[in-house]
Structure 1
Amino acid sequence: MKALQLEAPKHWKQIEIPAPEKPGPGEALVRVHRVGICGTDLSGYLGKMPFFSYPRIPGHELGVEVIKVGADVANVKAGDRCSVEPYINDPNSYSSQRGKPNCCEKLQVLGVHRDGGLRPYFILPARKLHVSTKLQFEQLALVETLAIGCHAVDRSELKSDEYCLIIGAGPIGLATLVFAKLTGAKIIVLDMNAQRLQFCRDVMGADHTVLLSDSLEKELRDLTEGHLPEVVIDATGSAVSMSNAFGLVAPGGRLVYVGITTDEVKFKHPVFHRPEGTLLCSRNALPRDFTRIIGLMESGQINTTPWITHRSPFEQLIEVFPSYTRPETGVIKAVVEVGE
């Protein structure tokens, strides 16, 4: 069967791979229907993702159908439509035993450390499948992106009476915005792209948006009653932005990194010591995030309609993929149609 592989940065190749055999105990064979393209895929393509290994079949935002299950599988059955939790952890590891499977020492993320979903069929641990009886495959492919934002907001402990600054209006920033809004907090989105900021205001319901400028701190103080935001979540993956974010936190505030960079992040210590700031990192998501998001989507509390702006058939992805790296194309979320 055909698969799409990144041999090296900026070098796609269509390859032939064997069809998977039957699933073993605890495993499920799935058919891939939809694959979302996210910042990790774009960074892997550009050679800027520190965890990415080559050659690799990308694809970790997945809407799949269960074809067959192995022995001792009770959570899914053939015919189920599922979202995939792509973080393959060792359940016996120190971090997994402490409720942190998202940062397991032996973590293998589909499409990053091990081959992912840009292929028609593959086998994975059945415990990583989250069933929905109502959602379409495109919606199921959005769950993982939303889970990243959900976990970042949980890490921030954002409260309803606080201001939250989200830096970066890409898919992860938008996912963060969804869950920041659910807390009732006042949301400010910062970006360099005016078109994306307009989308945040008009479609996603951000309270305020700010275009990056030399007067950023003053603009933020004007919006936050003079004290800067209590929570700052950086979703850019830019070392410059992440370094500058230290100076944007209110006294006693929290800075959360959800974006990842390969470069050095620096700050002058008094800048962050003075407000007694707290630095947090948010990696991947937890199983409960997937369960929560599917429920919110099924009940209509999360509207997925505005998210998907571009679609590509599997056979055309190599040709169109470079365009997804260019902001002027207006991509919010691209989805690959692998199977019907």
Structure 2
Amino acid sequence: MACAVCVQPGELALEARPYPTEAAEGWVLVDIAAIGICGTDYHIFEGKHPFLEYPRVIGHELSGILAEGPEAGTLVVVNPYVSCGKCRPCRRGKPNCCARIEVLGVHRDGGMCARIAVPRDNVYPATGLTPQQAAMVEFLAIGAHAVARSEVGTGDIVLVTGAGPIGLGTAIFARLAGAEVHIMDVSDDRLAIARDRFGFAACHKPGDAIVSGELAEGFDAVFDATGNARAIEAGFPLLAHGGSAVLVSVVKDDITFSDSEFHKREARIIGSRNALKSDFERVIAAIRAGQVPTDAIASEVVSLADLPGRFPGLVTDRDHLVKVLVTP
């Protein structure tokens, strides 16, 4: 079968790999229906991912059809975080931060292909969704998990910095939780998408005098989805007393902040990594209920055969895109 392989930075190619016909005990075969292209895939192509060895079959935002067993034919979402089930986080119900986690498309080959074998416990029924909607669940679950970690709700005022797909997903689920949502980004194009396609009217640029007037007391939560150390640090002064800085993105840099200001606010720093089964299920239910504007999320659909030729252009044009989906 044809697989999209990032051979080395700057080179994506279709390679023939064996078509899986058997799965190990506890694993199942899934015929891939749709794949979302993630910022991680772009970073892999650009050579910016810190945990990757080339060559690698990319793709971890996956929907598919169970190929075997009593539930064969069922549309499912694939949870791409393969956990060990034995380490302390796993034993404590936190497989999303497993000490030996392997993410499909990063630590092991992903699903940008026709069929993949995954752990049985990593597939969730997506009844009522289309295959393309089901391929959006994983990235939306990242934001849903961050919102759940923050404990924001009705009456809270929050800021999401970074209006890419992860930031938009975070903003959508913060809004569903009842919060008043503001969005900040350096890109006018991304802010226009957030405003015009998703209805987030309160959009800001870095450097705006945002903590003033009705917002003079700051935000109850600031979610960072930029992956930029300076942006993370700039978020701390925007916190209200008792507020939370939620780090959805991850950076390799050290982060600094004023300890006295942090203590004065009794602020919290919350790391948010990956997502749990409950987050996937929350997203599936929200899409099924029509609470997530999936038509606005889907920017373009590309066939797997066309992907190597299209991928460099998608990388450079990603400020104008929300989610590109691939069909095998």
Question: TM-score, structure 1 length as denominator?
Answer: 0.92
2:68 maps to 1:68: yes
SS of match in other structure, 1:124: strand
Q: Is 1:11 equivalent to 2:11 in the alignment?
A: yes
2:173 aligned with 1:182 = no
Q: 1:152-171: CA deviations, max 9, x gaps?
A: 11111112111100000000
SS of structure 2 residue aligned to 1:219: coil
The reply on whether 1:100 has 2:118 as its aligned counterpart is no
Does 2:213 correspond to 1:222?
Answer: yes
Equivalent position amino acid for 2:303 in 1: P
Deviation per residue, 1:124-183 (Å, 9 max, x gap)? 111111112221110000000110000011111112111100000000000001100012
In 2, the alpha carbon distance for the partners of 1:219 and 1:292 equals: 32
Instruction: Give, in whole Å, the separation in 2 of the partners of 1:328 and 1:176.
Output: 18
Q: CA–CA distance in 2 between the matches of 1:104 and 1:256?
A: 20
Q: Give CA-to-partner distance per residue, 1:92-145, whole Å, 9 cap, x none.
A: 221111010100011111111111011111111111111122211100000001
Seen in structure 2, the aligned counterparts of structure 1 residues 307 and 276 have a Cα distance that, compared at 3 Å, is: same
In structure 1, the partner of 2:139 is 145
What letter matches 1:128 in structure 2?
A: N
CA distance in 1, matches of 2:44, 2:212: 36
CA contact (8 A) 2:190 2:319 kept: no
| Residue deviations 1:171-221 (CA, integer Å, cap 9, x gap) | 0000001100012111100011122212222322224110223xx3x3233
Moved more, 165-174 or 268-277: 268-277
Instruction: Note the C-alpha offset of 1:288.
Output: 0.8
**Aligned partners of 1:313 and 1:190: how far apart in 2?**
33
- Is the 8 Å Cα contact of residues 23 and 117 (structure 2) preserved in structure 1? yes
2:113 partner amino acid: R
Return the letter of the residue paired with 2:195: R
1:273-324 CA distances to partner (integer Å, 9 max, x unpaired)?
A: 3322211110000001111211121122223110011221101111211222
Instruction: Determine if the alignment matches structure 1 residue 48 to structure 2 residue 44.
Output: no
The SS at the match of 2:7 is strand
Task: Give the Cα separation in 1 of the matches to 2:178 and 2:291.
Answer: 14
Alpha carbons of 1:51 and 1:272: their partners in 2 closer, same or farther (altered >3 Å)? farther
1:48·1:262 contact (CA, 8 Å) conserved in 2? Answer: no
- Name 1:319's counterpart in structure 2: 309
Give matches, 1:188-207, under 5 Å: 188-207=182-201
Cα 1:52–1:220 shift into 2, 3 Å: farther
Task: Report 1:21-40 matches (<5 A).
Answer: 21-40=21-40
Amino acid at match of 2:10: K
**Which residues in structure 2 correspond to 1:110-129 (within 5 Å)?**
110-129=104-123
For residues 207 and 223 of structure 1, do their structure 2 counterparts lie closer, same or farther at Cα, with a shift above 3 Å needed?
farther
CA separation in 2, counterparts of 1:153 and 1:172?
A: 12
Quick one: which of 116, 125, 128 aligns to 1:134?
128
Q: How many residues align?
A: 328
Instruction: Quote the offset at 1:66 in angstroms.
Output: 1.0
Does residue 1:269 correspond to 2:259, yes or no? yes
Closer/same/farther in 2, CA of residues 9 and 222 from structure 1, 3 Å limit? farther
1:171 aligned residue: 165
Letter in 2 for 1:334: V
Q: Partner of 2:57 in structure 1?
A: 57
- What amino acid is the match of 1:35? I
Aligned counterparts of 1:251 and 1:46: Cα–Cα separation in 2: 40
**Matched residue SS, 1:174:** helix
Is 2:292 the counterpart of 1:292?
no
Partner of 1:86: 80
Q: Which amino acid aligns with 1:219?
A: I
SS of structure 2 residue aligned to 1:295: helix
Q: Does the 8 A contact of 1:186 with 1:207 survive in 2?
A: no
**Amino acid corresponding to residue 220 of structure 1 in structure 2:** V
Distance 1:204 1:182 in 2: 13
Question: CA shift at 1:44, angstroms?
Answer: 1.9
Distance 1:62 1:31 in 2: 10
Q: Which runs of 4+ in 1 moved over 6 A?
A: none
Segments of 5+ residues of structure 1 without an aligned counterpart are 70-75
Identity of aligned residues (%): 36
Amino acid at match of 1:195: D
